[in-house]
Amino acid sequence: MLFYRTRFLLPVLASLALSACFASRKPDIPPALVAPAPVKLKIGLALGGGAARGFAHIGVIKMLEASGIHADVVAGTSAGSVVGALYASGMNPFQLQQAALALDEASIRDVRLFSGGLVQGRKLQDYINTEVGNRPIERLQLPFAAVATQLESGQRTVFVLGNTGQAVRASSSVPGVFEPTAIDGRHYVDGGVVSPVPVDAAHGLGADFVIAVDISAPPDRSSPDGMLDVIGKSISIMGRQLGEQELARADMVIHPKLDGIGAADFTQKDRAILRGEQAALVAVPTIRARLAAMKAARQASLVAPHPLAH
C-alpha cells in the first residue's frame, strides 16, 4: 500500500517542484529596458586670486547656494584659497560674510623689518587654522585644494593634504609682499604666478563641472595704487596667458565687475561681495542649462541598445 501511494505522489511532487522553480525565475528583461540610475554630477568651484578683490567670492557663493547650486569640491589660488578653505570647512555663506566683515589687515599681516619689511604670513596661517578648527585639509567638510608656486622649480603645487593654514599661506605669499613659505625644505609663493584661477585643480579633485570665478583686474593703463597693486598687476601679466588657457577648461566662468576696487583696498568688502552676488545671479540660468545638458548627455550614454532589441 505504501509502495502504491509513493508511486502516485512522486510525479505530483515533481510537478509541483518544477512549477515552483519556473515561478521563482525572474523574466529576462533586456538591459535597454532597464532605466539607469540618475546621473549625479560633481560640481567644482575654482576661486581665483586677487587680494582684497577676493571678497567677491563670498557673494558668488552666497548666490549659488541660494539658487540650489552647491559645490562638491573647492580649489583656490591666493585670495581664493582663503575663502575656499573657510567654505570647505563647513561655513555657510552668511558665516563667510560675517568672517569677512570682521577681518582687518592687522589680523593677517605681520611685518618683519629684518626681512625687508615683508609680511611673514604666520598670522594668516594661524587665522585660517583657528577658523577651520585646526583641521588638516583632508578633514575639512569638502575636498579642498590650495594652489601655490614652488620657488625652486617654478612648478605648480597643489596642496590637498596637511596643514590647512600653511597651505593657504603658501598659496597667498605674494612675491615682494610676503616672505616665501617654507614647507619641507622647499619654498612657495603665490599660486597666481602659474594658476590664477585653479580650474585644473578642481578637475583634479574629481569635479565633472567646474565653475570658475575670475576676480583678476583687466589690463589697463591707469597708475597703480600702491606697492601691492603694482605687484598684483605684475603677477596678473605673468599669469595671463596661462590663466586664459586654464579658464578655457572651465564649464562656466563668472567675472564679477570689480571696477574701482584695487587689490589692496580692504575698505570695500561690502561692495565686492555685492558685485559677486550680481555676477553669480546673471550666471545662474546658464549654469543650470549647462548642467542639465551635461546630465542629459551622460544619461543618454548610459543607455546602450540591447543586441536582441531589434
Residues catalogued as catalytic: 78, 190
- Count other C-beta atoms under 10 Å from residue 235's C-beta: 26
- The C-alpha atoms of residue 46 and residue 48 are separated, in whole angstroms, by 6
Render 46-93 in DSSP notation, one character per residue.
Answer: EEPP-GGGGGHHHHHHHHHHHTT---SEEEEETHHHHHHHHHHTT--H
Distance CA 223, CA 262 (A): 11
Run of H or E residues at 213:
strand 209-213
Which residues make Cβ contacts (< 8 Å) with residue 269, sequence separation at least 6?
Answer: 52, 55, 100, 101
Question: Could you tell me the end-to-end alpha-carbon distance of the chain, in angstroms, rounded to an integer?
Answer: 58
Specify burial of residue 78 (Cβ count, 10 A radius: 0-12, 13-18, 19+).
buried
Place of cell 585670495: 79
Write the CB contacts of 289 (distance below 8 Å, at least 6 apart in sequence).
none
